[in-house]
Amino acid sequence: MPMPMPPNAFLLVSAILFTIGVVGVLSRRNPLVIFMSIELMLNAVNLSFMTFSSALHSVDGWIFVFLVLTVAAAEVVIGLAIIVSIFRSRQEIDVDDLNSMKG
Amino acid sequence: MAFTYAISGGDWARIAPELALLVAALLVMLVDALIPARLRGALVIIGVMGVLAALAGVIMLYASSGSPSAFGGMVTSDPLALFATLVILAATGLSLLLSPGYIERQGTRQQGEFYALVMLAATGMVLMAASTNLMMIFLGLELLSLPLYVLCAFAPGQQRAQESGMKYFLLSSFASGFLLYGMALIYGATGATNLGGINHFVATHAMSATAGFGPILLGGMALLAVGLAFKVSAIPFHAWTPDVYQGALTPVTALMSVGTKMAAFVALIRVFDVALAPVRADWQGIMWALAILTMVGGNILAATQTNVKRLLAYSSIAHAGYLLIGIALGTQAGIAALLYYMAAYAVMNVGAFGVVLALERVAGLGTNLDDYRGLASRRPALAAALAVFLFALAGIPGTAGFVAKYAIFAAAVTGGHAELTIIGVVASMIGFYYYLRVIWAMYFVPAPDMPAAEAANANPHLSLAGLNSAVVTKLAASGTPLAFSAGLALALALIGTLGLGIFPAPLISLARQAAGLP
Amino acid sequence: MDLASIVFLVLAAILVGSALAVVTLRNIVHAALFLVLVFGAAAGIYILLNAEFIAIVQILVYAGAVTILILFAIMLTQNPNSRGSNPMNRQALIAAFIAAALCAGIIFALSQNNAISAAASQAVTQNAGTAVAIGNLLYSPTSYSYVLPFEIATLVLLVAIVGAIVIGREED
C-alpha cells in the first residue's frame, strides 16, 4: 500500500502534536499532566520516525520507534513511582509548590 | 547499508569496559540478596573492582589494533571514547569511594540497590561516549538518566531529594523529547542514523538553509543541540541543575556533574564537530552563543549563593560554558583542550564535592557557607583540601584547573575566536570571587560560638526537612569522622588535581591523540 | 481522494483534537482518557504506513500499559479536596510564544521541500513492518542487526524494575 498522503502531511501532524506537548509541559502545573504532555511529544517523534522510514524505504526508523516505545515504558515506571512517593510524603503534588530550595 | 555483517566475539571485546561495569552491577545485586544486612556496606568493594576491571578493559583496548568500530558501526572504541571512559571511570570510582559511611548516615537500608544503580548509570555514560549511532546515543543517555532519576530521589523520607528526583525526571524527559525530535529530523534529512552515514550524506550533498533538504536538517540540529545543551546544563537550559545538585545525595551529585557532562560532551563532539562538520556554519553560532551565555551567567549566578553545594552547582554550569568553547571552535585543538579540561574537572570537582560530603551530616544540612566558618581550625586537613580544589576550580597556576583553562583559551585564540577568550577570562575573574569567599570563610572568619546542638535547634532548615530527634542527636555530634575510603578518594583527587597541574604533559598527549592530533 | 486519504484525515483530526484535550481539560481523568485516543489514532496512522507490528506494539505498550499506570497514579495521588483544581501556571504566555515559534519553524522547514529528498532515500526495500522482518533485524546473529541496541533496551528495563522497587520500598 503506498502512502496515502505526501509525507509532509504526516510530518505536519507530528509537528502539531509535538507543539501541543511542549505547550502542555510549559503551561500546566500538575506533574501528571506534564508527564502526559511529554508522552504526546514522544508520540509525535515516533510518528516522524515512521513517516521518514516509510518515505526513505529505510528500516532504521522502525527500530528507533521500537526502542523509544521500550524506553518510554521504563520512564513511565520510574516517573510515576517518584510522583506517587512524593505524594505519600506531602499529600499534594504541584510543581510550583516544590520550592524548598531557592536561589 | 550492508546486510552481511555478522556479530563476532571481537565486537563484544570492543565494549569490554561497559561489560565490566554491567557485570559489577549485576554482581552487586546478586550478592546483596545473599549476604546479611550488616555486611551490605562491603558491596562497594564489588563496585570498585568493576571500575578497576573496566580500567583494565580500557588499557587493553588502547593496546589493541584493528578497526575500533563494533556492532556494525553502533559503537566504537576509538581514542576519544577511551579517553572519555577514563574520565567517567575516575568519577565513578571516586564517587563510589566517597559513598560508604555517608549513605549509611542517610539512614537508607538499600545500599545494594544504590551501588547497583551507580554502576548502571556509569555503564550508560561509557556507552553514550562510545556511541557512533544516534540510536545508541539515545539509549546510552536513557541508561544513564534513569538510574540517576532514582538516585536523585534516593534519600528516604527527605523532601528535597524527592523534589530533586522529580524535577530532574520531568525536565530531563522534556529535554529527551527535543533530543529525539532532533534525531528524527536529522534522520529524515539524511536517511541515516549512524554518524558515518550522516557525515557522508552531508559531505556529498550541498546543504544550505534555504535549498534542498537543508531546513529539516537545520531544525534537527537545533533541537538536538537543545537536548544536549540541557544535559550539559548550558544556560538557558540550566534551571534544573542547582535544585537537583543540591537535593541529591552528594556522591550522586559528584558522579552526575562529571559523568553526564563527559558523556554529553562526547556526543556533542561526535555529532556536531565530526558528523556535521561540513555544515559548521549552520550550527557554530548556536554553540558560540551558548558558550558565552553559560560562562558569564553561570559565574554571575554562582557569586550570589550562600549554600556551598548550590554554589558548586552554579560553578559546574560555568565550567560547562568553558567546555562549550571547545565545541564552538570545532577544531581538533579545541576538542583536545575540552577533553583535558574535562579530566581536570573530574578530579577537582569530585574532590570539592567530597569535602562537602565529609562535612555534611544529613543530606543538605551543614552545607551552608556559615557552616564553613572557622573550618581551618576545626578540621585543618579538610579545609586545606577544599582550598586546593577551589583554587583549582578557579584556575590558579600549579593546579589542573589552570592548565585546563590555559589550554582551552589558547585553543580559542588559535582557532580565531579571541573574543571567547576575553569573555572567558573576565568570567573567570568573577569566579575567583566566589571561590575565594568560601576559602575566606574557612580561614579568616571565626567559628560561631554556639554549641552544635543549639545551632541545630536554631537552624530553620531543620523543621523544613522534617527530621526526627535521632537525626538531631546525630547533628549535635561535633563533626563526623572521615571514613577510610572517603579519605582515600580525597587523597586520590588531591593527587590528581596537583599532579595534572604540575605534570600535564602525558594527559595532554592522550587528549590530543583522542582528538585526532599527532 | 481515496479511502486511505480520508482515513488519514479523520485519524489526524482525532489525534490533534484529543491531544488538545489532554493539555487543556481541567479534569485529569478525562485528560488521561483522551490520551488513550491519541495513542489509538497514532496506531491507526502506523497501519496506514504499513507498520502493523509497530501499531500493535503501540496499542499494547501505550494504550495498554502506560495509560493504566497513569490512571493508577492519578487514583493514588489526587487529593479529593483539590478536585478540579488543575490550573495553568504563570508561564502560559511564555509557553504560547515558544510554541508558536517552534511550530512556525517546523512548518517553515517542511514548506521548503515537497518530497523526501531522493538522495536520502536508500535502496533498501523490504517488508520492514512485518514481525518477521523486525525480528530478523533485532536479533539475527548472522547478518547485520540491531542486537546491541536491543540488549541495551533490556538494561533500561532492568533499571526501571530496580528503580521502582527502590522508590516503592523506601517508606518501610
* Beta carbons of A85 and C170 less than 8 angstroms apart: yes
Mean pLDDT, chain C, whole residue set: 79
SS3 (DSSP) at B238: coil
Residue that wins the pLDDT comparison between A3 and B177: B177
Of A11, A41, A75, which is closest to B146 when you measure between CB atoms?
A75
Is the CB of B1 less than 8 angstroms away from the CB of C122?
Answer: yes
What pLDDT, on the 0 to 100 scale, is given for residue B477?
A: 41
Q: Which three cell numbers stand for residue C115?
A: 518530497
Distance from CA of B196 to the nearest CA of C (A): 14
CB proximity list for B344: less than 8 A, separation 6 or greater = B392, B400, B401, B403, B404, B497, B500, B501
* Helical (H) or strand (E) element with B49: helix B43-63
Per-residue pLDDT of chain B (518 residues; tens, 9 = 90+): 444 566 777 888 889 999 999 999 999 999 998 988 888 888 899 999 999 999 999 999 999 888 888 888 889 999 999 999 999 999 999 999 999 888 887 777 788 889 999 999 999 999 999 999 999 999 999 999 999 999 988 776 677 788 888 889 999 999 999 999 999 999 988 888 889 988 988 888 765 544 455 678 888 899 999 999 999 999 888 888 998 998 888 899 999 999 999 999 999 999 999 898 888 888 888 899 999 999 999 999 998 888 898 999 999 999 999 999 999 998 999 999 999 999 999 999 999 999 998 888 665 567 888 888 888 888 888 999 999 999 999 999 989 999 999 999 999 999 888 999 999 999 999 989 999 999 998 888 887 654 444 444 444 444 434 444 444 444 444 456 678 888 899 999 999 999 999 999 999 999 999 888 87
Nearest to B171 by CA among B76, B242, B68, B80: B242
SS3 (DSSP) at B194: strand
Distance from CA of C80 to the nearest CA of B (A): 22
Interface check for A75 against chain B (CB to CB < 8 A): the answer is yes
Instruction: Quote the CA–CA distance of B195 and B202 in Å, as a whole number.
Output: 10
What pLDDT, on the 0 to 100 scale, is given for residue B46?
A: 93
Domain presence at residue B462: no
User: B75: which DSSP letter?
Assistant: E
Interface check for C63 against chain A (CB to CB < 8 A): the answer is no
CB proximity list for B120: less than 8 A, separation 6 or greater = B21, B22, B25, B143, B147, C155, C158, C159, C162
* Beta carbons of B296 and B303 less than 8 angstroms apart: no
Partners of C103 in the beta sheet?
none
Interface check for C158 against chain B (CB to CB < 8 A): the answer is yes
Nearest to B323 by CA among B338, B339, B345, B308: B338
Q: Which residue of C has its CA nearest to B136?
A: C149
Interface check for A46 against chain C (CB to CB < 8 A): the answer is yes
Nearest to B447 by CA among B383, B373, B382, B376: B373
Domain that holds residue B427: 12-448+481-514
What pLDDT, on the 0 to 100 scale, is given for residue B72?
A: 81
Which residues on A lie below 8 Å from C5 (Cβ)?
4-5
pLDDT in tens, A87-103: 877 765 566 555 555 55
Is the CB of A100 less than 8 angstroms away from the CB of B310?
Answer: no
Is the CB of C120 less than 8 angstroms away from the CB of B201?
Answer: yes
Judge residue B112's burial from the number of C-beta atoms within 10 Å of its C-beta, 0-12 exposed, 13-18 middle, 19 or more buried.
Answer: buried
CB proximity list for C5: less than 8 A, separation 6 or greater = A4, A5
* Beta carbons of C144 and B1 less than 8 angstroms apart: yes
This prediction has a pTM of 0.90
Mean pLDDT, chain A, whole residue set: 83
Q: What does the H/E/C string look like for chain C?
A: CCHHHHHHHHHHHHHHHHHHHHHHCCCHHHHHHHHHHHHHHHHHHHHHCCCHHHHHHHHHHHHHHHHHHHHHHHHHHCCHHHCCCCCECCCHHHHHHHHHHHHHHHHHHHHCCCCCCCCCCCCCCCCCCCHHHHHHHHHCCCCCCCHHHHHHHHHHHHHHHHHHHHHHHCCC
Domain residue extents for chain C:
1-84, 130-172
What pLDDT, on the 0 to 100 scale, is given for residue B463?
A: 41
Which residues on C lie below 8 Å from A83 (Cβ)?
73, 77
Q: Which residue of B has its CA nearest to A44?
A: B181
Amino acid at site B254: A
End-to-end CA gap in chain B? 32
Please give the average per-residue pLDDT across A38-56, as a whole number: 92
What pLDDT, on the 0 to 100 scale, is given for residue A98?
A: 59
Of B157, B173, B242, which is closest to A38 when you measure between CB atoms?
B173
Please name the residues between 24 and 53 in chain C that touch chain A, using a CB distance below 8 Å: 28, 31-32, 35, 38-39, 42, 45-46, 48-51
C-alpha neighbours within 13 Å on the C-beta side of residue B354: 36
Judge residue C121's burial from the number of C-beta atoms within 10 Å of its C-beta, 0-12 exposed, 13-18 middle, 19 or more buried.
Answer: middle
Which residues on A lie below 8 Å from B170 (Cβ)?
25, 31, 34-35, 38, 79, 95
Of C51, C96, C156, which is closest to A50 when you measure between CB atoms?
C51
- Domain C1-84 falls in which CATH fold? Four Helix Bundle (Hemerythrin (Met), subunit A) (1.20.120)
Interface probe for A, chosen from B3, B136, B187, B462 (most Cβ of A below 10 Å), is B187
Is the CB of B177 less than 8 angstroms away from the CB of A38?
Answer: yes
C-alpha neighbours within 13 Å on the C-beta side of residue A102: 5
Domain presence at residue B178: yes
Amino acid at site B164: S
Judge residue B205's burial from the number of C-beta atoms within 10 Å of its C-beta, 0-12 exposed, 13-18 middle, 19 or more buried.
Answer: middle
Instruction: Quote the CA–CA distance of B266 and B275 in Å, as a whole number.
Output: 12
CATH architecture of the domain with residue range A8-91: Orthogonal Bundle (1.10)
Interface probe for B, chosen from A49, A75, A100 (most Cβ of B below 10 Å), is A100
Domain presence at residue B454: no
Nearest to B296 by CA among B397, B407, B420: B420
Interface probe for A, chosen from C3, C8, C14, C23 (most Cβ of A below 10 Å), is C23
Q: Kindly report the backbone phi and psi dihedral angles of residue A41, in degrees, each rounded to the nearest multiple of 5, phi listed first.
A: -60, -45
Domain presence at residue B456: no
Domain residue extents for chain A:
8-91
Distance from CA of B152 to the nearest CA of A (A): 10
DSSP states along B101-129: THHHHTT-S-HHHHHHHHHHHHHHHHHHH
Instruction: Quote the CA–CA distance of B442 and B455 in Å, as a whole number.
Output: 18
Is the CB of C153 less than 8 angstroms away from the CB of A67?
Answer: yes
CB proximity list for B498: less than 8 A, separation 6 or greater = B388, B398, B399, B400
Length in residues, chain A: 103
Q: Which residue of A has its CA nearest to C75?
A: A84
Interface check for A43 against chain C (CB to CB < 8 A): the answer is yes
DSSP states along B461-507: HHHHHT--HHHHHHHHSS-PPPPHHHHHHHHHHHHHHHHHHHS-HHH
Q: Which residue of C has its CA nearest to B186?
A: C120
What pLDDT, on the 0 to 100 scale, is given for residue B468?
A: 45
Residue that wins the pLDDT comparison between C12 and B66: C12
Q: Which three cell numbers stand for residue C27?
A: 479534569
Q: Which residue of C has its CA nearest to B211?
A: C112
What pLDDT, on the 0 to 100 scale, is given for residue B475?
A: 45
- ipTM for the whole complex: 0.91
What pLDDT, on the 0 to 100 scale, is given for residue C37?
A: 94
Is the CB of B74 less than 8 angstroms away from the CB of C159?
Answer: no
Q: Is the pLDDT of residue A62 over 60?
A: yes
Interface check for C118 against chain B (CB to CB < 8 A): the answer is no
pLDDT in tens, C46-73: 998 888 888 999 999 998 889 999 999 8
Please name the residues between 73 and 132 in chain C that touch chain A, using a CB distance below 8 Å: 73-74, 76-77, 79, 82, 86-92, 94-96, 98-99, 102-103, 106-107, 110, 113-116, 120-126, 128-129
Q: What does the H/E/C string look like for B146-166?
A: HHHHHHHCCCCCCHHHHHHHH
Interface probe for B, chosen from A17, A101, A102 (most Cβ of B below 10 Å), is A101
Residue that wins the pLDDT comparison between C145 and B265: B265
Q: Which residue of C has its CA nearest to B26?
A: C158
What pLDDT, on the 0 to 100 scale, is given for residue B67?
A: 84
Is the CB of A29 less than 8 angstroms away from the CB of C149?
Answer: no
What pLDDT, on the 0 to 100 scale, is given for residue B10?
A: 80
Q: What does the H/E/C string look like for B277-339?
A: HHHHHHHHHHHHHHHHHHHHHHHHHHCCCCEHHHHHHHHHHHHHHHHHHHHHHCCHHHHHHHH
CB contacts < 8 A, A to C, total 245
